[in-house]
Chains A and B, each alone.
Chain A
Amino acid sequence: MRDRVLIVDSEILINKFLESRLSKENMDVDVAFDGMQAVEKIKKNKYDLILTDLMLPYVAGVELIMNIKKSEYNHETPVVVLSSLTADDVIVDVLSIGAQDYIIKPFSINVVLAKIKQLIQLNKTAA
């Protein structure tokens, strides 16, 4: 069964690029362009990993992560944050509310892919 990943980013180009690369890695990819769309998707679908930006319209990234951790289907789903915010306190806050990793933009696609695969594998092993 293919891994299912949700990408949440308001930048369409980055979304499409990540969608394309992850699809090539045999993953099923859903995309959301704002926090509200993401919340709707996590209520209906179970994902193997969620990759999200922090600066999102309607529902900010931090609030989205908190929603994910309380959701019925995705409370154990690993969350990776992909953001241009570099302040230490932001990174610490995000990791403390349940994100598994924090990648700073601009990013290396190879690093992102490696981390996604590793976290999905770890989550499956733990389950």
Chain B
Amino acid sequence: MQNNFDLSGKLCLSILKINLFNYPLLIQIAVIVSILAVIAIFLTLTYIIYNRTKRQSDQRKTYEAENQILEELNDHLLMYDSIEEMPENELQETVKILNEFKNRSIIFQNVLVRLLIYFKHNLTGNITRLITATYFNLKLNEITLSKLKSVFWFTKAQGLKELQDINDYNSADTIQPLLVNKNLDVRVEAYAALLKLQTNSSFNFLKNEEEELSNWHQILLFDAITKSEHAVVPNFADFLSSENKTIVILSIKLLLHYKQFEAIPDLIKLLSNKNEQLRSEAICALGVLDAEDAEQKLISIYPTERNPNKTQILLALGEIASGSALHFLKDKFLKADHYTILKSAAAAIMSHPTALKEKILASLKDLDEEQKAIIKHFEDPLIRLHGVR
């Protein structure tokens, strides 16, 4: 037994004593790279396992925090509509407990903020004022404002979102510097925050933003603009000439929401834009706004457009439904070389007032089976034009 240990020990020592520099350069490099690769794999696996373990631990702690805080909120705070209704001793006890939660850990802080904001969003009435008062009494706004100073963009963005959600109207000055932050997500959240928290907030960001906004950014901004009270809603047609395509798209959505019919001439100008997507958005918008003035222009650009925009033009003419494009629609229906054109032309014809469409329908002779089936489909009163889009 002793001899076996001696032998294995000597073997290890002899391996360790191998002089790498006795071997060719290529072998030396291969050995070093292999050793580095093994170390890197080991470190990566350790990092992955550590992160997974930490995430599971955090999830468990978050779950526990949520249960404890929810129980406290449901049993005490959310039972009342105002602070005056709460018995004094219960109020003090509740504030004391919520403060303890707040000071316990960052997880508890985040859960407390999240739950208060959740109930503020999902309930109405005086109870929301109680929730907001509790948020400020616990000085949770200080924690939120400190997030704006974080080096991490996602923490800043989270802080901005929380300020919007809790309606911290006093934080506007703190948000201003973030309007020019390098990170687009932070800038968009800052725009949205200011729009929600300041009634006289400027829409200059629509002129100044050069980076393309994602669909999600547009949704955030649309939500912030349309659900806030503004002293003056601008004429969004002023932003249709922006070089930033996404700003133009957002502006079109906003002018449709606010039914700014005065934007129709600017939308008609957009039909000559080089960008196909912008032309498509303009076509849709003209249909929604019932722009009879645009009908001839839509018909004139039809031959030069690809099928997707041709479909949109037909649908827009159907929405406008003045009757002056009926023969054009009939022609496109009879000569459709693609199913979407056939369907859109049929939808457009059938969306006209009864008196107008019956004349055209009567003139449709010798239809094939597909054409007859499509007309029948759109005769169903439950099928609406917007369902076709």
Contact = CB atoms under 8 A, between A and B. Distances in A.
B74 A17 contact: yes
Interface residues of B, number: 15
Contacts of B125: 108-111
B123 A13 contact: no
Contacts of A108: 123-125, 127
A110 B79 CA distance: 10
Interface residues of A, number: 15
A13 B127 contact: no
A13 B115 contact: yes
Contact of B122 (A21, A24, A105, A110): A105
Interface string A4-34: 0000000101101100110010000000000
B312 to A, nearest CB: 24
B119 A17 contact: yes
Interface string A98-116: 0000000111111100000
Contacts of A11: 122
B327 interface: no
Q: Which of A11, A106, A107 has the most CB of B within 10 A?
A: A106
A11 B70 CA distance: 13
Nearest to B75: A20
Contacts of B124: 106-108
Interface in B122-146: 122-125, 127
Contacts of B70: 13, 16
Given A13-B70, A13-B115, A17-B74, A106 B79 contact: no
A7 to B, nearest CB: 13
A107 B123 contact: yes
Contacts of A20: 74-75, 78
A106 B81 CA distance: 15
Given A16-B70, A20-B74, A106 B118 contact: no
B3 to A, nearest CB: 67
Contacts of B115: 13
Contacts of A13: 70, 115, 118-119, 122
B123 A109 contact: yes
A17 B78 contact: yes
Interface in B65-103: 70, 74-75, 78-79, 81
A11 to B, nearest CB: 8
* Residue of A11, A20, A24, A105 most packed against chain B (CB within 10 A): A20
Interface of A is mostly: helix
B297 interface: no
Nearest to B123: A106
B121 interface: yes
Interface in A81-127: 105-111
B68 to A, nearest CB: 13
Nearest to B78: A17
Contacts of A24: 79
Contacts of B74: 16-17, 20-21
Contacts of A107: 122-124
Contacts of A21: 74, 78-79
A31 to B, nearest CB: 13
Nearest to B67: A16
A3 B123 CA distance: 24
A24 to B, nearest CB: 7
Nearest to A105: B122
B41 to A, nearest CB: 40
B51 to A, nearest CB: 26
Interface in B239-280: none
B73 to A, nearest CB: 8
Contacts of A14: 122
Interface string B159-191: 000000000000000000000000000000000
B119 to A, nearest CB: 7
A114 B266 CA distance: 52
Given A20-B78, A24-B79, A108-B127, 14 more contacts: A13-B70, A13-B115, A13-B119, A14-B122, A16-B74, A17-B74, A17-B78, A17-B119, A105-B122, A106-B123, A108-B125, A109-B123, A109-B125, A110-B81
Top-7 shortest CB links A-B: A20-B74, A108-B125, A108-B124, A106-B124, A106-B122, A106-B123, A17-B74
Interface of B: 70, 74-75, 78-79, 81, 115, 118-119, 121-125, 127
Interface of A: 11, 13-14, 16-17, 20-21, 24, 105-111
19 contacts: A13-B70, A13-B115, A13-B118, A13-B122, A14-B122, A16-B74, A17-B74, A17-B119, A21-B74, A24-B79, A105-B122, A106-B122, A108-B124, A108-B125, A108-B127, A109-B78, A109-B127, A110-B81, A110-B125
